[in-house]
Amino acid sequence: MIEEDSAQRQFPCAFCMKAYKRKDHLQRHQKYHCKSLAQRPDFPCKLCPHVASSNFTLKKHLVQCHRNEAPT
């Protein structure tokens, strides 16, 4: 499969080979859909680009930074 119009995609993902035309699409991909992100041993925050080094620090970050928007 040849990637279509890859030359027009100006926002490449730093973690995998995907690229997007729109910055918000790239950011959404990196937050929720990037496979490389999921494969990393880190603990990415689902609410912002922050990446914690452990499950403990991720929970701490969620409480400190997202206590008003944390999912129930």
Residues near Zn ion, by CB under 5 A: 13, 15-16, 18, 34, 45, 47-48, 50, 65
Given the DSSP bridges, would you call strands 51-52 and 43-44 parallel, antiparallel or unpaired? antiparallel
Other beta carbons within 10 Å of 8: 8
Distance in angstroms (rounded) separating the CA atoms of residues 46 and 57: 14
Q: How far is the CB of 9 from Zn ion (least distance, A)?
A: 12
Least distance from Zn ion to the Cβ atom of residue 46, Å: 8
Q: For residues 48 and 63, which CB has a smaller minimum distance to Zn ion in the complex?
A: 48
Distance of closest approach, residue 13 Cβ to Zn ion, in angstroms: 3
